Amino acid sequence: MSQKKKVCDYKPSLENIYFDHSASTHVCKEVLDAMMPYFYEDFGNPNSVHSYGQKAAAAVDSSRRKVADLLGVRPSEIYFTSGGTEAANWVMKGVPLTREKNEVVVSSIEHPSVLSPAKQLAQKGIKVNFLPVGKNGIVSVDSLKKVVSNKTALVSVMLANNEVGTIQPIKEMAKIAKQHNAYFYTDAVQAIGSIPVDIKDLGVDMLSLSGHKFYGPKGVGALYVRGGVRLEKLIAGGHQERTMRGGTTNVPLIIGFALALERAIKNQKENAARVKEMRDYFVKEIFAAVDHISYNGDRENRLPQNASVTFYFIEGESLLLTLDMAGIACSSGSACSSGSLEPSHVLVAMGQKPEEAHGSIRFSFGIHNSKEQIDRAVCVIKESVAKLREYSPLWHEFVRAGIDRPKRK
Ligand code: PLP
C-alpha cells in the first residue's frame, strides 16, 4: 500500500527562514484537505441543477454563511472575489458618482489596489483628495475633517498598513464620512486574523479580505457590502454572486477561504500573542546588534507581526538579496511594489527621505517562527549590513564627517 504523502507539512528550519508573512502565508494542512474534494469528486458547477451542482452550491452557501457569521454580518452582504485587489477595484470603480456626489478621499498610504484606481479616477477628472499621514504612519482624523464634504461619495482608508503595520482610526473616520452621507471602505486585508475586527462597531460600509494573508489559498477573498449600499456590478455575466460578479464560482478556493478565516478568527488572540513575542524579540535583538537603524511606524498602534526597519546608508534591495542567499526571506516595502525602483510611497508619506526609504526592510512574522530563527537572522543581518556599509559611499562620507546620527528607536 502506498504511503499517503503529507502534502502540507510546513517545517520551519534554521536554513530556511520566512519573515514575509505580510506578503503571503502557506496554506495550512486542514484547509488544503478541506479544499481537495472540490477539485475532484465534488467538482460540480454550483449553477447546475443536478446533484453534482447542488452539492457544490450547498458548500458555497455554507461557506458564505460561515464567513458572514464570523464577521457578524448577513450572508447577503458577502461577495466572494479573487482577492483584495479585485475587491478594492470594485469599490473604487463601482461606487456611483453623481453630479452632487463626485469626490473621493483616499489615504496616501493605501495599497496600490486602491491608489491605482484612485489615480485613474483623477485622470478622468474626478476630484481625489489624498490624506496625509504623520511620521508615525497614522492618518489624522482632522485631515479627513478638512477635505470631506457633502460632495464626497467615498472615503477609503485601510484598517492596517501592509508596509509599516500601523492601525488606522477607522471608527472615528467612518463616523465623519457618515455625517456627510459618504460611503466608507476599509481594506482589512492585513488586519484580519492579526487584530480583532468588528465590522458593526467600526461602522464601515464596505470591507475587504484576502485568503492568502491568513493561511488560506491565494486568488480568493471577499468584499463585505452593507445592505443598502449602492455598488455597480463588477462583472456582467451569469447569476453568480447575485448577478454582481459573473463567472463560474471557484468552489474549492471559497471552501478554503472560509475555513482559513474561521481558524484565523478563532485563534486570533493566541496567534497574535505568539507573533508579537517573536516581533518584539527581533526588534530588541536587532537594535542591540546593529547601529544606525530606525523602527518605522507607531509603537503601539501596529500589527503584532510587523517590524519595518530602516538600515541607514545601505540599499534595502541589496540587503534583501544577501539575506535571501543566506536562506532568509523578508521584503523591501510590500510585495506589490517590489520590482519598482521608486522608494516606498508609505515611508515617503511618513517623511522619510528617498535614500532612507530605500534602506528599509519589512520583517513580518508568522506562527511558525522561532527565537532560534531570529537569533540566526540577526547574526546574518549584522554581518551583511557591516559588509554592505563597507561598499557604501554614503557610509564613508558619514564616517569621514564624524557626525554621529542619533540611534533612533
Ligand atoms: N491590500 C493590502 C493591504 C495588501 O497587503 C494586499 C496584498 O498584499 C492587498 C490589498 C491585495 O490583496 P490580494 O493579494 O488578495 O490581491
Q: Which of 43, 130, 72 has the alpha carbon at shortest distance from 348?
A: 130
The C-alpha atoms of residue 22 and residue 279 are separated, in whole angstroms, by: 13
The CATH code that applies to domain 29-266 is: 3.40.640.10
Q: Which of 354, 381, 328 has the alpha carbon at shortest distance from 19?
A: 328
The C-alpha atoms of residue 112 and residue 109 are separated, in whole angstroms, by: 9
Residue 270 CA: distances (Å) to CA of 11, 45, 160, 396:
20, 37, 19, 45
pLDDT (tens digit per residue) in 260-304: 999 999 999 999 999 999 999 999 999 999 999 999 999 999 999
In the chain, the percentage of residues whose pLDDT exceeds 90 is 89
> What is the per-residue pLDDT for 13?
83
The C-alpha atoms of residue 103 and residue 101 are separated, in whole angstroms, by: 6
> What is the per-residue pLDDT for 10?
63
Res 2 pLDDT > 50? no
**If pLDDT is split at 50, 70 and 90, which confidence band does 221 have?**
very high
Homologous superfamily in CATH for domain 3-19+268-398: Aspartate Aminotransferase, domain 1 (3.90.1150.10)
pLDDT (tens digit per residue) in 64-103: 999 999 999 999 999 999 999 999 999 999 999 999 999 9
CA of 213 relative to ligand 1 center, distance in Å: 8
For 363, the 3-state DSSP assignment is strand
How many alpha carbons lie under 13 Å from residue 157 in its C-beta half-sphere?
33
Q: Which amino acid is at 321?
A: L
What does the DSSP 8-state code read for residue 302? Answer: B
Spell out a b/e string for 233-270, using b for 16 or more CB atoms within 10 Å of the CB, else e: ebeeeeebbeebbeeebbbbbbbbbbbbbbbbbeebee
The domain spans of the chain are 3-19+268-398, 29-266
CA of 267 relative to ligand 1 center, distance in Å: 21
Residue whose Cα lies nearest atom 10 of ligand 1: it is: 84
Q: Decide if 336 is catalytic.
A: yes
CA of 333 relative to ligand 1 center, distance in Å: 13
Res 337 pLDDT > 80? no
Average pLDDT over residues 28-57: 97
Res 5 pLDDT > 70? no
Residues with CB under 6 A from ligand 1: 83-85, 111, 113, 158, 162, 187, 189-190, 210, 221, 334-336
For 384, the 3-state DSSP assignment is helix
Any idea which residue has 475587491 for its cell? 87
pLDDT top residue among 279 and 404: 279
Q: In the structure grid, which three cell numbers stand for residue 12, read together? A: 520551519
Query: Angle between the 316-325 and 371-390 helix axes, to the nearest 10 degrees?
Result: 130
Contact (Cβ atoms closer than 8 angstroms) between residue 169 and residue 139: yes
Residue whose Cα lies nearest atom 12 of ligand 1: it is: 84
Q: Which of 350, 353, 359, 165 has the alpha carbon at shortest distance from 275?
A: 165
**If pLDDT is split at 50, 70 and 90, which confidence band does 3 have?**
very low
Res 351 pLDDT > 60? yes
The model carries a pTM of: 0.94
What is the rounded average pLDDT for all residues in the chain?
Answer: 94
pLDDT (tens digit per residue) in 152-206: 999 999 999 999 999 999 999 999 999 999 999 999 999 999 999 999 999 999 9
CA of 54 relative to ligand 1 center, distance in Å: 32
The C-alpha atoms of residue 371 and residue 277 are separated, in whole angstroms, by: 9
Please pick, among 8, 330, 336, 379, the residue that the annotation labels catalytic.
336
Q: Which of 52, 56, 48, 154 has the alpha carbon at shortest distance from 110?
A: 154
Res 1 pLDDT > 90? no
**Residue from 213, 302, 308 to probe ligand 1 pocket by mutation (most atoms less than 8 Å from CB):** 213
